[in-house]
Structure 1
Amino acid sequence: MKRIKRILLTGAVPLAILLSSWLLFAFLYQTDNKYTQKASQPICGILSLSEKDLRQAPLRYLIREWEFYPDVLFTPQTFADKKPGTYRQYISVGQYGGMEAGNIHRSPHGIGTYRLTIQLPKGMRTYALELPEIFSAYAFYINQELKAQSGDPNPESYTPCIKEKTVVFQGEGTINLLLAVSDFSWIYSGLTYPPAFGLADAVINARENYLLIRMAALLLGFLGLILSLYLGFRAHWKKGLLYALQCIFYLGYTAFPLLHRFFATDVNPWYALQLFCFYAMLLMAVLLQNSLCQIRGKIAGIWPFICAAGTVAAFLTGICASRLGLTAFYSFSLLSAVLKYGSAVYLLIVSGVAVRNRRRFSLLLLYTSEFFAVSLLADRVMPLFEPIRGGWFIEIGGTGLMLGLACALCRDLGEAYKRSLTLAEEYRLMERQLSMQKEHYRQLTQQIEAARTASHDLRHHMRTLRTLADRASLPDIRRYLEEYEPHTEPRDVITYSNHPAADAILSYYAGVALRIHAEFSAVLQLPESLNIPDTDLCILLGNLLENAVEACERQTAGKRFVYLRGEATGRQLRLVIDNSFDGIITEREGRYFSSKRKGFGLGIHSVRSIVEAHGGLVLFEPGDQVFKASVFIPLK
Structure 2
Amino acid sequence: MCYNRKRVIWLLCGALIALATCFFQYRYDNKYNFPGPRAREGVLDLSQYAEDQPFFILAYGWELYPQLLLAPGEFDGHEPLFVYLGQYGGFEGANGSGSPHGCATYRLTILLPDQSKEYALELPEIYTASRVWINGAPVQSLGDVSDARGKPSTRTGMITFQAVGQAEIVVQAADYSHYYSGMVYPPAFGSVLAVSDLLTSRLLRTCIVTAAALTIGILYLTIGVKTGEERQKMTLFALSCLAFSLYAVYPLFHQFGAGIWSYRLEDVSFYLFLLMLTALHCSLCGIDGRPRRIVLGVGSSVALLSLVFPALLAERGLSVMMAYSWFLDGYKLLLFGWLIVTALFNRQKDGDTDGPLLAGLCAIAISMMFQTVVPVFEPVRTGWMTENAGFLLILLLAGVLWFGTVKAFADRATLTENTRLMKKQFSLQEENYRIVSENFAEIRRMRHDLRHHLNAVMELARQHQYEELEHYISGCEVSANQAVQPALCENHAVNAVLNYYIQQCGQKGIPLELKVSLPPELKLEDWNLGLLFGNLLENAVEASEKVPKDRQSVKVYSRIAGGNLLLTVKNAWDGQFIASGEKIASTKHEGAGIGISSVRALVDKCGGQFFLTPGEQEFVVSVVLWQQI
Do these two structures clear the TM 0.5 threshold for a shared fold by scoring above it?
yes
Instruction: Provide closer, same or farther for how the CA distance between residues 54 and 520 of structure 1 changes in structure 2, counting only shifts above 3 A.
Output: closer
Query: Per-residue CA shift, 1:111-164, capped at 9, x if unaligned?
Result: 312232537468575554322112222223456543211233454662222211
Alignment partner of 1:257 out of 251, 258, 276? 251
Contact 2:72–2:170 (CA<8 Å) still a contact in 1? no
1:121-136 superposed matches below 5 A = 123=114, 125-126=116-117, 127-136=119-128
Partner residue in 1 for 2:43: 47
Equivalent position SS for 2:495: helix
Deviation at 1:604, TM superposition (A): 1.1
Cα RMSD (Å) of the superposition?
A: 4.8
Contact 1:272–1:318 (CA<8 Å) still a contact in 2? no
Instruction: Provide closer, same or farther for how the CA distance between residues 289 and 578 of structure 1 changes in structure 2, counting only shifts above 3 A.
Output: farther
Contact 1:578–1:626 (CA<8 Å) still a contact in 2? yes
Structure 1, unaligned runs of 5 or more: 1-5
Partner residue in 2 for 1:3: none
**Which range moved further: 223-232 or 569-578?**
223-232
Equivalent position SS for 1:148: strand
Structure 2, unaligned runs of 5 or more: none
Bigger relative contact order (CA 8 A; separation at least 6): 2
> TM-score normalised to the size of structure 2?
0.78
Contact 1:524–1:565 (CA<8 Å) still a contact in 2? yes
Query: Per-residue CA shift, 1:536-582, capped at 9, x if unaligned?
Result: 43332221122112223344422543322212211432111122334
Contact 1:187–1:321 (CA<8 Å) still a contact in 2? no
Equivalent position SS for 1:76: coil
- Corresponding residue pairs, total: 605
Equivalent position SS for 2:139: strand
Query: Per-residue CA shift, 1:209-233, capped at 9, x if unaligned?
Result: 2531541463366457657867986
1:159-558 superposed matches below 5 A = 159-169=151-161, 170=163, 172=165, 175=168, 177-184=170-177, 186-197=178-189, 200-201=190-191, 205-216=194-205, 218-219=207-208, 222=211, 246-261=240-255, 263-268=256-261, 270-283=262-275, 285=277, 295=286, 298=289, 302=293, 305-306=296-297, 309=300, 312-313=303-304, 316-317=307-308, 320=311, 325=316, 333=325, 336-337=328-329, 340-341=332-333, 344-345=336-337, 348=340, 352=344, 357=349, 359-361=351-353, 364-365=356-357, 367-449=359-441, 451=443, 491-526=483-518, 530-558=522-550
Measure the CA separation in 1 of the matches of 2:374 and 2:552.
75
Please state if 1:615 is matched with 2:607: yes
Partner residue in 1 for 2:103: 112
Alignment partner of 2:58 out of 55, 61, 70? 61
Amino acid corresponding to residue 51 of structure 1 in structure 2 = S
Query: Per-residue CA shift, 1:370-422, capped at 9, x if unaligned?
Result: 44333223212313001222222222333333344444554454444333322
> TM-score normalised to the size of structure 1?
0.77
Partner residue in 2 for 1:569: 561
Alignment partner of 1:32 out of 29, 32, 37? 29
Instruction: Provide closer, same or farther for how the CA distance between residues 104 and 597 of structure 1 changes in structure 2, counting only shifts above 3 A.
Output: farther
Measure the CA separation in 2 of the matches of 1:632 and 1:250.
52
Contact 1:617–1:631 (CA<8 Å) still a contact in 2? yes
Equivalent position SS for 2:490: coil
Deviation at 1:267, TM superposition (A): 1.9
Please state if 1:97 is matched with 2:94: no
Partner residue in 1 for 2:139: 147
Contact 2:367–2:389 (CA<8 Å) still a contact in 1? yes
Deviation at 1:259, TM superposition (A): 4.0
Contact 2:17–2:363 (CA<8 Å) still a contact in 1? no
Instruction: Provide closer, same or farther for how the CA distance between residues 578 and 114 of structure 1 changes in structure 2, counting only shifts above 3 A.
Output: same
Measure the CA separation in 2 of the matches of 1:517 and 1:545.
15
% identity of equivalent residues: 24
Contact 1:187–1:318 (CA<8 Å) still a contact in 2? no
Measure the CA separation in 1 of the matches of 2:180 and 2:112.
35
Measure the CA separation in 1 of the matches of 2:196 and 2:445.
96
Equivalent position SS for 1:579: strand
Amino acid corresponding to residue 256 of structure 1 in structure 2 = Y
Contact 2:217–2:240 (CA<8 Å) still a contact in 1? no
Contact 2:154–2:257 (CA<8 Å) still a contact in 1? yes
Measure the CA separation in 2 of the matches of 1:432 and 1:357.
39
Instruction: Provide closer, same or farther for how the CA distance between residues 144 and 314 of structure 1 changes in structure 2, counting only shifts above 3 A.
Output: same
Amino acid corresponding to residue 64 of structure 2 in structure 1 = E
Alignment partner of 1:605 out of 591, 597, 602? 597
Equivalent position SS for 1:205: helix
Measure the CA separation in 2 of the matches of 1:473 and 1:407.
91
Amino acid corresponding to residue 113 of structure 1 in structure 2 = A
Query: Per-residue CA shift, 1:332-381, capped at 9, x if unaligned?
Result: 54664466445545554566468994653565455544443332232123
